[in-house]
């Protein structure tokens, strides 16, 4: 599937005989008004559902269990563009993040999609808000599930990561440390406690999200040039390494043990 700034969702069919994609996709044009753009999409783990987010605040759901994909729902709970969306690792729940300052955990039950609201203005009892927080409108910049789907994490434009119980919507922890917006949240492949975050401040953090504590911090300082914003990070399948890319074109590789195998790269 591909989505575009032209407001379309295209499903491309793989031909088993020619081993090529069909040049003519099944296309859904989702433009209720001029200028609507599709921003993000995510398949459910079994591939039966596709969720998309767009600039018109609407989440569109498609079902692939019939002969051809069909749109089955339009969910209009957000009030600003939906620019992050992600299905859980096991099941049919998905998480949506919006510039309206909320995220929602969706679940299909009793023949409809229902959601738990996560409001980024929610505070943990005893936390004091700063002057900046009181005047800043919160916006969700990135979302993620942990490995066993018990926790979701949302990055907010005030540089705070919020950790939520995915079943109740309870705010568990606020993770502080970043000094700029965070656009990278990466889950450890098998340890549900561990999550990585990185952002435009050049910082990479490893967190224990169950305890709400910082485990490791790396600052991407580039000699003579200041810091390099971190754009993407991925764990290896065995969880022993992770790689990041930055604004200066560097590939950063982190891991346990000896660095000799990587010195030739």
pLDDT in tens, 158-205: 999 999 999 999 999 999 999 999 999 999 999 999 999 999 999 999
10 domain residue, yes or no: no
Within its chain, how far is the Cα of 173 from the centroid?
18
7 domain residue, yes or no: no
Angle made by CA atoms 93, 95, 97, in degrees to the nearest 5? 165
Mean per-residue pLDDT for 207-229? 94
Residue at token pair 């492949």: 189
- What local confidence, expressed as pLDDT, does residue 131 receive? 54
Q: How confident is the model at residue 260 (pLDDT cuts 50, 70, 90)?
A: confident
Q: Does residue 239 contact residue 254 with C-beta atoms inside 8 Å? A: no
12 domain residue, yes or no: no
Mean per-residue pLDDT for 68-91? 96
> 143 pLDDT exceeds 80?
yes
2 domain residue, yes or no: no
Q: Does residue 10 contact residue 26 with C-beta atoms inside 8 Å? A: yes
For residue 246, what are the β-bridge partners? 230
- What CATH number corresponds to the domain at position 175? 2.130.10.10
197 domain residue, yes or no: yes
Number of domains in the chain: 1
Query: Between 247 and 127, where is the model more confident?
Result: 247
Q: How confident is the model at residue 36 (pLDDT cuts 50, 70, 90)?
A: very high
4 domain residue, yes or no: no
Within its chain, how far is the Cα of 136 from the centroid?
22
- What local confidence, expressed as pLDDT, does residue 129 receive? 57
- What local confidence, expressed as pLDDT, does residue 88 receive? 98
Closest C-alpha among 191, 91, 179, 106 to residue 143: 106
245 domain residue, yes or no: yes
Domain that holds residue 224: 26-262
* pTM recorded for the entire structure: 0.90
191 domain residue, yes or no: yes
Residue at token pair 């992770």: 242
- What local confidence, expressed as pLDDT, does residue 133 receive? 59
């Amino acid at each position: 599937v591909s989505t575009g700034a032209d407001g379309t969702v295209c499903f491309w069919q793989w031909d088993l005989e020619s081993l090529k994609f069909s040049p003519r996709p099944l296309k859904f044009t989702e433009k209720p008004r001029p200028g609507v753009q599709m921003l993000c999409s995510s398949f459910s783990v079994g591939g039966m559902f596709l969720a998309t987010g767009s600039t018109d605040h609407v989440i569109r759901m498609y079902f692939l269990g019939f002969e051809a994909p069909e749109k089955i729902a339009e969910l209009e709970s957000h009030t600003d563009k939906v620019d992050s969306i992600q299905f859980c690792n096991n099941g049919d729940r998905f998480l949506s993040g919006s510039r309206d300052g909320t995220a929602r955990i969706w679940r299909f039950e009793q023949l409809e999609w229902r959601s738990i609201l996560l409001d980024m203005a929610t505070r943990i009892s005893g936390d004091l808000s700063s002057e900046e927080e009181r005047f800043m409108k919160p916006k969700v910049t990135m979302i993620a599930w942990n490995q066993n789907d018990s926790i979701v994490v949302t990055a907010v434009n005030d540089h705070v990561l919020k950790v939520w119980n995915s079943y109740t919507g309870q705010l568990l922890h606020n993770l502080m440390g970043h000094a700029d917006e965070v656009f990278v949240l990466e889950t450890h492949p098998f340890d549900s406690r561990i999550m990585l975050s990185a952002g435009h401040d050049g910082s990479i953090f490893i967190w224990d999200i169950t305890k709400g504590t910082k485990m490791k911090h790396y600052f991407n300082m580039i000699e003579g040039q200041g810091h390099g914003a971190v754009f993407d990070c991925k764990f290896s399948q065995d969880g022993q390494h992770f790689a990041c890319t930055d604004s200066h074109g560097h590939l950063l590789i982190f891991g346990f043990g000896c660095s000799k195998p990587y010195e030739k790269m």
